[in-house]
Amino acid sequence: MKKLNDNNKFALSMLFAMIAGIAAGLVFMAVRESMGSDSAAWATINNILFQDITAAGAESAIGLFYIGGQLFIRALQLIIVPMVFTSVVMAISEIREASTLGRISAKTIGWFMTTTTIALTLSGAISLFCFSLGIFNIHIEGVQGAAGSTGANPLKVILDIVPSNIGATFSVNNAVLGIVFMSVVVGLSLNKIGNGKDSIIYRLCEEVSQVVVLFLSFVVKKFGPAAIFMLLCRTFATYGIDYLKPAMNYVLLCTGLLLTYLFVGYPLYASLVCKLNPITFIKKVFKVIVFGFSTSSSAATLPLNLETTTTELGVDHQIASFVLPLGMTINMDGTAIMQVVATLFIAGCGGYDVSAFQLVIIMVLALIASIGTPAAPGAGAVILFTILSGVGFTGDQALVAYALILAINRPIEMLVTSLNVTGDSLTSIVVAKSEGKLDTSVYNR
């Protein structure tokens, strides 16, 4: 009971931090607009609180909120590689039958594809309807694009599954597919050898996992609410109204679709597919939603998601340890929704016609591209260029609209992350339920 009360208190503190951070950010946004973004007074406030101290020309800035938020995110990123590797190795090692592993893998990937396809169909149909009404036909003055706004062949994700260098794979956080592959290989090898839990590698992974969990608990519970306040306040404070106005239709439609899928779609899946109380699901996963929204990173949210899914939603640790790291890489419902809406918005701004057949192509490209999207802030908008290139929406005005998306997409990306991580947790429940590995007494507690 004490642990349950502690979890409730922590969830409330996260919610309070989110509300306070957004409110403070909007106040600072209003102050910025009243002072003028080029004024000396705002420059002073920005340098003290919000400035990215790693940016060129910011050598004398203090950036208190930037430093606080980045220290928190870096502390979480520090444990991504060991957490993913040890979790998957132990999960695979404990599955003695190859048929069981194959069945769990098929169910996991199948559910990922199902929810993403439904999300794409929903967003595609509504976005095409709005496109036909002409609400995306907006003239945008020239906007400075962000660096690195180029796409890559979405099929490259297939090559990324098998790494060419072990050291390089374990030295970066965005090579999660390669880490999952390596951990599956190690886990299967331990199974084949027959050592399982008695092997030195397994015991080492177990102890590393315990250290990671302890570190995670300390960082998240001691510094999480304060860091979330600083991250959200800084995000909203640094936005200008002039950037938001031209893309307001895109922002409103995308936000509406994401919120609908998050708070209506996922609870419906929990109720209809798993026969579970949907309100309980949302209540218990809510702190994961807030955390994903604040950090805008599925990778940074993984540790908290794993703890919540196993200890509060009743999913067997073996299932969650396999599904969640995999979902962090290939389950991108929110990213897919955002990319479809953004593509049609850009098409409208660029003066392109979009037929039903082209919409299907956009949806297929969005499905493939979302699978290869790194679990890091801002990655979805950059990968968007892949879809634009695939359907030929690369005219001058379209690229200006794309630059606008890159400039203002941070709040959308935050909500996208919440959707992605919630989808991972739901999939863990679906798979665990089908395997008889869901403790409903814990879920309903």
pLDDT value at 125 more than 90:
yes
Distance between CA 311 and CA 285 in Å, rounded? 11
What pLDDT does residue 147 have? 38
Tell me what the mean pLDDT of segment 101-110 comes to. Answer: 86
Q: What angle do CA 179, 181, 187 make, to 5 degrees?
A: 100
pLDDT value at 145 more than 70:
no
Tell me what the mean pLDDT of segment 133-160 comes to. Answer: 59
More confident residue, 37 or 126: 126
pLDDT value at 79 more than 80:
no
Distances (CA, A) of 23 to 28, 204, 259: 9, 45, 19
The mean predicted confidence, pLDDT, of the chain is: 81
What pLDDT does residue 148 have? 38
More confident residue, 300 or 266: 266
What are the two backbone dihedrals, phi and then psi, of residue 315, each rounded to the nearest 5 degrees?
Answer: -80, 135
Distance between CA 386 and CA 5 in Å, rounded? 46
pLDDT value at 31 more than 90:
no
Name the pLDDT band for 83 (thresholds 50, 70, 90): confident
pTM: 0.72
Tell me what the mean pLDDT of segment 29-44 comes to. Answer: 84
Distance between CA 43 and CA 37 in Å, rounded? 7
| Other beta carbons within 10 Å of 7 | 17
Distance between CA 160 and CA 177 in Å, rounded? 7
More confident residue, 120 or 189: 120
Provide the 3-class DSSP secondary structure of residue 319: helix
pLDDT value at 3 more than 80:
no
pLDDT value at 225 more than 50:
yes
Tell me what the mean pLDDT of segment 67-96 comes to. Answer: 78
- Picking from 402, 421, 124, 426, the residue whose alpha carbon sits closest to that of residue 257 is 124
| Other beta carbons within 10 Å of 22 | 18
Give the pair of three-digit tokens for residue 279: 């309100």
